[in-house]
């Protein structure tokens, strides 16, 4: 799935409120643009994405049913 398809999926499923999907979209966009970035820019972007995903932490606690469809 390319970033355009993923963005359409996120929009169609009201995924804009799901932060992990936005991180996935950013990751897909980064993969698609890797050839246009220097190795330093690419690895800096990967580090930023990693930190953003770590910062998501346990945001889902208390929302398990909503998030995981229990």
The per-residue pLDDT for 4 is 97
44 vs 66: CA distance, rounded Å: 33
The per-residue pLDDT for 70 is 52
The per-residue pLDDT for 59 is 72
Per-residue pLDDT of the chain (70 residues; tens, 9 = 90+): 999 999 999 999 988 888 889 999 999 999 999 999 999 999 999 999 999 888 888 777 787 777 666 5
The per-residue pLDDT for 40 is 97
13 vs 50: CA distance, rounded Å: 24
Largest CA distance in the chain: 43
């Amino acid at each position: 799935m390319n970033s355009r398809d993923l963005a359409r999926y996120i929009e169609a499923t009201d995924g804009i409120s799901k932060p992990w999907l936005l991180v996935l979209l950013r990751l897909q966009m980064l993969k698609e643009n890797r050839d246009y970035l220097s190795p330093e820019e690419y690895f800096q972007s990967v580090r930023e994405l990693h930190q953003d995903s770590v910062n998501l932490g346990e945001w889902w606690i208390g929302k398990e049913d909503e998030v995981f469809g229990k």
